[in-house]
Structure formats: C-alpha cells, structure tokens
Structure 1
Amino acid sequence: MIYRILRFILRIAIHIFYKKVAISRPSVSISDGPLIIMSNHPNTLMDPLLLAIIFKQKVGFLANASIFVHAVVNRVFDYFHVIPVYRQQDVKAGQEIDNQDSFRACYDYLEQNNTLVIFPEGTSIHELKLRKIKTGGVRIGFGAEARRAFGLGVKILPVGIYYNHPTQFRSKVHINIGEPISLQNYRSEYQQNEIATVQQLTNELRIKMETLTIHTENAEQEALFYKIKKLYKPQLKEELDAKNDHKDFVINQEIAHAIRFFHLHVPTQYQELKQKVEALDELSTQVKSKSNFDKSYVRLWSMTVLKSLYLILASPLFVMGLAGNYLPFQLPSWLARKISQEREYHASITMILGMITFPLYYTLLTWILRHYLTLHWEQATLCFIAFPLFGIYALHYYKFAKRMRHYMSVLFSSSKKEQLRNLKLLKTSVTHQLDNAKQMYLDRLNHHD
C-alpha cells in the first residue's frame, strides 16, 4: 500500500517536473517476472524513479553499497527491495569484494517472479554515451536460472533513457523499451561455457541498448550534437513529418549517428562543418533572437505593439503566479546545489524537495488568505488549486517576456540588426552544408543496405 501511494505521488511529481515522458514500448507484452530490466544510467536517482512509475509491477533495484549508511536507511531500502552490491571503493583497502550475499538475495527475489532493475554501467554520468557494460547483471540472471535448472524463465529487458535536458524543469524524457531476451535460449551455451556465454550476452545487450539510446563518442561530438539539433532538427521534423515521439527520438539518434559517421569516414568535412556550426551557435547566442524580421514594416511594428500590450495587461497574473511560486520554485534547486556538487543528482533532488516545498507553501498561503480575508473553505480550496495554475502561467509569461526583451534589443539596435543579417547568411550556408551532409550520409546507408 505504501509503495502504491508513493508511486502515485512520484508519478504526479515527475509529470509536473518533465513536460513529457515519452515511452516507446516493445511489440510483445512484458510479463511481470521474473524479469531483469537493464538500463543506461545518465541521471542518478531520476532513472530508478522513472522506471518505478512506468512499470505496473513492483520493482526492486540493485544499488551501490555506499548508499547503505544507517540502520534506519537500510530498513527503508530493504522495504523497497534495494539490494546492495559492493564495488572496490566500497570496501576497505586490501579487503576483497564479496557480493555472494547480494547475488543470493537477487536469486531469491527473482524466484518470487519479481522484477529487478540493474544499471549495468555501474556509474551515472550526464553524457550521451553508453559506457562499458558490466557482466554482473547477466551473471545474476544466469545464476538464478542455473539454481532452478533453467526452469525459472528469467528474461532480460533492455531499456534506453534519453533526457533532452537532464536537469531542466519542464524538459522532455524518452524511455525506449526493447524486446525481452529469454535466458532459456542460452541454456546449452551456458552449460558448455559459462564465462564465454555471459560475455557474449553482455555484448549483445550493449548493442541492443545502443539502439535505444543516443550515443556519441566523446564530449566534442556531444556538444556538436546539441548545436546541430538546435539548428537543423526543426527542418528534419518538417521534412519527415515527425509528429510522434518515436520519430522525434529517431531524428535525434540519426543526428548522432551522422556525426559519428563523418568523424570516422570524412574527418576533413567533419571539422569544416563543426567550425561553421560553432560559429553559427556563437553568433546566435550573441543575437539571442529567433524572431522573424523579414515581415513588412507595418506588420512588424503592429506585432511589437500587440506583444507589448499583452505583457502590460497580463503582468498582474504574472505577479500573482510569481508571488505564489517563486520561493518554492527556487528553494529546491538552490538546496540541490548545496546538497550535492554533482549535477547528476540535481534534477532528482530538486524534484523530491519540490514535492515538499510546493504543498507546504501553498498550504501556508491558503491559511494566510483564509485567516485575513475570512474566506470560506470552498474559496480557500479554490485558492489552493489556483496557485500551481498561476505558477505555470508565470513560467510561460517569463519565457515570453525574455524572448520579447531579446526581440526589442535587436529591433532598436543597428549593430544587432547587422548581426542578425550575418546570422541569417551564415545559417543559410550551414543549412545548405548540412543538407549535403545528410544526403551523403543517406547515400552511404543505402549503399550498405
């Protein structure tokens, strides 16, 4: 019961924190268990929370032993079926790692037809790269099967998680679920050679997980990916009529594939394109405006007046939303940075703290209004409901006002107008080069097919 209540609360919190959680499921149904979910791990605590809410069945987790720091905490982890696994840094110098008890706990858990989540990379880093996959998860699956003479029916389910902006509020996350792998299909190979079969399946699992994630080779390619995505993805979405979440993810994936392709096969063109994209991104940052200044003089100024009028008339609603949400909105992110210097923890800590600060702050404001304005409880309830709605509107107003400020800075600055003209010329040149690069990449793919 406690698990279901917490999962319900978490589901609400996650769908508030993220603008959209897009889930791509496999064509076959997923049994409740025994099942091992293997996922990449880009966002520490947020990854297990997401996986916990998208599967109907209750899931357990394999986690680093370093988080088991207190008897009370350990009891909580035990209730939620979090099983410790020890790494070299988790034991004293000279002490050997012994995970036999942890493995036996996993076997027992799977034998009860449960679902276990394992992050085989072992560590969590914000990067578009699938790191080395460790063999522990596959060994656990085979160990549970071997203990039951391969009559248990364990399946491994590869999952890929991709965050558009890992720490940004109201961003988007893609969760791609692959086809389950039955360990019973590897029975004869495992019985003949355990080590080779574990390594073989681990390699196969890595290949499957790469197809479910966005993968770049290094930080340079990752930075280039985000810049090309910002510049070129809208055009690709229009060309491919990418209206659903899966097509949207595939476009991201193909951009990453193309970057790796050019870096490997056409390094000269890769460097030339990289330099132009970086120059365009830098100039775009300086101008800070996406507004279209090609409109007629009358229409340009009429739109400017209408937008300015909207900002003035809607400002009271913004102030109300700001007053009711600024403190609980800013406090969690500030505390998250104080609690951990690792940005991989910031999103999850911010969200969890927000689950506390927002309801408390809304309750306090509602009590103040009811006490000093002598509101009835129905009116107070409406106020409580209105606070988050005004907060969402305030965020929209803030983003609109920010774009308007950049728009006005260009409109009244001759130097910025010159920068904008240069930006459009450079953007046309880079877009043309990207079109050629796309065609070269597609021709290479068709040739291999």
Structure 2
Amino acid sequence: MKLIWLYFVRTYISVGMFFYFRRIKIYDAKNVPKNKPVLLLSNHQNALLDALLIATKCGRLSYFLTRASVFNKPVVARILKSLQMLPVYRIRDGWGNLANNNAIFENCSKLLNDSECIVIFPEGNHNLMRMVRPLSKGFTRIILDALENYPEMDLQLLPVGVNYTNAENFPDGASIYFGTPLVAKDYISGNKNEDAVSLKAVIQSEISLLTTNIPKENYQETLDELERLDVDFLNPKAVNTCINSKFQDCKFQEVKSNTFINIIFKALLVCAFIVPILVWKFVAKPKIKEIEFRSTFRFAIAITLGPLWLMSLFIVLVITLGWVVAVGYLIASLCVVLLAVKL
C-alpha cells in the first residue's frame, strides 16, 4: 500500500506540475544511481517546490530531510511522514529538541545502508536569492556517520541545481541539473573535522556549477543587470559565464511571441477558475509571511481547489445540461489552462 500511495502522489503531482509550469527542463537524470545509496544535495530557493521537482524528476522514490517546524500539526505530520519526509531540528526549534536529530541521523544511516535515496538541502534554509549560500554541516554528519557505521557502503553524493525563471511568478519555468556522482569514501581521511570542511567545500563548488551563483558582493547590481539583459536563468552555466565575463559573454532568452493571445487565454483562465483564484488572492496569499512559500501554497491550491472546482461544475452541468455539454466544458477548460500556461 505504501508504494501505491507514493506512486499515486508522485503521478498526481507530476500532472499538476505539467499544468502549473510553462516548462520544466531536466538534465542528466541518468546520473542518479538506481541501485546504490545516494544523497541528492541541492540548492534551496523555492520552499517545498524544490523538493517536489526533485521527487518527481529524479527517477527514484526518495526520503527528504525537512525542517521540523512544518510537522507541528498532527494531521500535517502524518501526511508528510507518509511521503517519506523526516523532521530535522534546528537551534530555532529549541536546544532541547536538537537531541532528536540523533535518531533521525541514525535512521538515515540505516536507510542508506538499504540503498535508499535521501534528498538534503545543505544550505539549511530556503532563500529566493540566486546564489549558493554557505552550507551547514548537518549533511556532512550524515555522510560521516553512515560510513562509520557501515564502512563498506558505496555511498554516492550527487549535487543538484534547481533553477527558476522567476520563482515568484505564475506560470514559471524550471530546470533541474543533476551533477556527476561523487564517491563519498574518496573524501574520508579519518579526521572528521577536516573531512567535514572538505565535503562542504566540494559540494558547494559542485552545486555552484549547476545553478546561478551571483557573488554576494554587488549582488543586487549584478542581478539587475542580468535581468536587464534578459538572460535565461534556466541555463545557469551561461548565466555564470555572463557574470564571470563582466557581462561581455551573455546569451539572451528567445524573443517571446503571441503576447496578445497569451493575455486572452490568461483572462479566460481567470474566468474558468474564478473561485480558486479568489481564494488564493484574498484568503491564502495574505497569510503567507515568507515569500519563499508563496509559490508552494499557490501550487497547493492549484492542484487541490482547481480540480475540485472543475469537477463541481462538471457535475452541475451533467445534472442540468447533460453529458455532452459537461464533457465539452471539461475539455475546453483544460485547453484554456494549457494554452494560458504554455504559450
């Protein structure tokens, strides 16, 4: 039953993402080891959407280390745990709770010894800034503990870069770059402190190649110039080349067309899903304190209230006007969504 549930959720979310994102580009997913223990180590910009994109596109049923604060409500905690999310406690959750991480890290070692896949966001928190922030040491402890408990484990470390055209907007574009697997044993010398520093440096360097990495110095000025040049943020290698060349070697996005047609279909989208959109705009959105969660909650409403609203109207039309009109309405609504999002 667990596998059926996980595959159902992954399929449902994948379909939702198809209708939500203008495009999702996946690069080198073949690099994800299929039958070996692996840690997927990704940058973290866009809250839960980062995890959902990796979960649906990496080709494996994965476990996720997630900040413990989202497990506070019992119902939410049960759902998250059923989706193989594991709580991780931070200092802000209280010093007394940090000891709970011991059991979580021990469980990670066991999962890896069973050749499972675990996704970690080693920056430790999310932020919409287009840069790889300093990594926390928690992921190094998982690596070191796993190899200490199971010395023969062939643990693979796979850097991942998740990129967005504009994470605050809808519809948005996303790209995921899976890097080259690194053999964890190759970075173990026996000195835990030195090994932790070395692992952090290597993983930060690898992730920085897979996502836009604007230097902290003059960050806003650099970002403004990149946006003025209309670079393609879904191509981080080209963007980083542009930055390093001081904007002399830059590739631009393709010129967008059909703007007027796009406006028409977006207006039709609003008309077709007026109630879910109003709920988002006037009920959910004002309550979101962290801007990084805005896209996550918008997506959640889109894949829950959107289908419910569509099916409610479908049933009403079946009862009042018959199957032909109801089916025609359903097909027309789905076409409107696709054209509004994809054009």
TM-score by length of 2: 0.85
Instruction: Name the amino acid aligned to 2:229.
Output: L
Aligned to 2:296: 348
Displacement of 1:119 after TM fit?
0.7
- Equivalents in 1 of 2:67, 2:118: separation in Å? 14
Which has the larger helix fraction? 1
Aligned to 2:309: 361
Aligned to 1:126: 128
- Equivalents in 1 of 2:143, 2:112: separation in Å? 9
Deviation track 1:358-393 (CA, whole Å, cap 9, x = no partner) reads: 112222322333333x32x24422321211213454
Q: Is the 8 A contact 1:216 1:260 kept in 2?
A: no
- Equivalents in 2 of 1:360, 1:229: separation in Å? 37
Q: Is the 8 A contact 2:24 2:175 kept in 1?
A: yes
Aligned to 1:427: none
224-233 or 173-182: bigger deviation = 224-233
Question: Mapping of 1:88-99 within 5 angstroms?
Answer: 88-91=91-94, 95=96, 97-98=98-99, 99=101
Higher-RCO chain (CA-CA 8 Å, sequence separation at least 6): 2
SS at match of 2:214: coil
SS at match of 2:47: coil
Q: Is the 8 A contact 2:156 2:181 kept in 1?
A: yes
- Equivalents in 1 of 2:57, 2:92: separation in Å? 32
Aligned to 1:185: 186
Q: Does 1:211 align with 2:209?
A: yes
Aligned to 1:425: none
Displacement of 1:394 after TM fit?
5.8
- Equivalents in 2 of 1:159, 1:319: separation in Å? 36
CA distance 1:331–1:156, change in 2 (3 Å): same
Question: Mapping of 1:253-402 within 5 angstroms?
Answer: 253-259=240-246, 321-372=269-320, 374-375=321-322, 377-393=323-339
CA distance 1:27–1:2, change in 2 (3 Å): closer
**Structure 1 alignment gaps of length 5 or more:** 235-244, 262-289, 292-306, 400-449
Displacement of 1:112 after TM fit?
1.5
Q: Is the 8 A contact 2:187 2:198 kept in 1?
A: no
Deviation track 1:176-203 (CA, whole Å, cap 9, x = no partner) reads: 111111112234x1x2x12111211211
- Equivalents in 2 of 1:56, 1:11: separation in Å? 12
Aligned to 1:250: 237
Question: Mapping of 1:416-431 within 5 angstroms?
Answer: none
CA distance 1:348–1:32, change in 2 (3 Å): farther
SS at match of 1:160: strand
CA distance 1:90–1:233, change in 2 (3 Å): closer
SS at match of 1:107: helix
- Equivalents in 1 of 2:326, 2:132: separation in Å? 50
Q: Is the 8 A contact 2:154 2:183 kept in 1?
A: yes
SS at match of 1:45: helix
CA distance 1:104–1:391, change in 2 (3 Å): closer
Instruction: Name the amino acid aligned to 2:274.
Output: Y
Q: Is the 8 A contact 2:32 2:58 kept in 1?
A: no
Instruction: Name the amino acid aligned to 1:118.
Output: I
- Equivalents in 2 of 1:49, 1:357: separation in Å? 18
Displacement of 1:259 after TM fit?
4.5
State the structure with more CA Rg. 1
CA distance 1:114–1:227, change in 2 (3 Å): same
Q: Is the 8 A contact 1:166 1:347 kept in 2?
A: yes
- Equivalents in 1 of 2:246, 2:293: separation in Å? 29
| Identical aligned residues as a percent | 21
Aligned to 1:68: 71
- Equivalents in 2 of 1:318, 1:67: separation in Å? 33
Displacement of 1:252 after TM fit?
2.0
- Equivalents in 1 of 2:120, 2:288: separation in Å? 23
SS at match of 2:245: helix
CA distance 1:23–1:46, change in 2 (3 Å): same
Aligned to 2:251: none
- Equivalents in 2 of 1:333, 1:254: separation in Å? 38
SS at match of 1:127: coil
Q: Is the 8 A contact 2:171 2:341 kept in 1?
A: no
Instruction: Name the amino acid aligned to 1:158.
Output: P
Displacement of 1:49 after TM fit?
0.7
Q: Is the 8 A contact 2:212 2:237 kept in 1?
A: no
Aligned to 1:106: 108
TM-score by length of 1: 0.66
CA distance 1:38–1:383, change in 2 (3 Å): same
- Equivalents in 2 of 1:12, 1:318: separation in Å? 20
- Equivalents in 2 of 1:137, 1:219: separation in Å? 27
**Residue in structure 1 matching 2:21, options 18, 22, 29:** 18
CA distance 1:140–1:379, change in 2 (3 Å): same
CA distance 1:26–1:318, change in 2 (3 Å): closer
Displacement of 1:29 after TM fit?
5.6
Instruction: Name the amino acid aligned to 1:69.
Output: N
**Structure 2 alignment gaps of length 5 or more:** 249-254
Q: Is the 8 A contact 2:32 2:178 kept in 1?
A: no
Question: Mapping of 1:192-231 within 5 angstroms?
Answer: 193-218=191-216, 220-222=218-220, 224-231=222-229
Aligned to 2:175: 174
Displacement of 1:355 after TM fit?
0.9
Instruction: Name the amino acid aligned to 1:195.
Output: N
Task: Output the aligned Cα RMSD.
Answer: 3.1
CA distance 1:145–1:358, change in 2 (3 Å): same
SS at match of 2:40: strand
SS at match of 1:252: helix
Instruction: Name the amino acid aligned to 1:8.
Output: T
Instruction: Name the amino acid aligned to 2:9.
Output: L
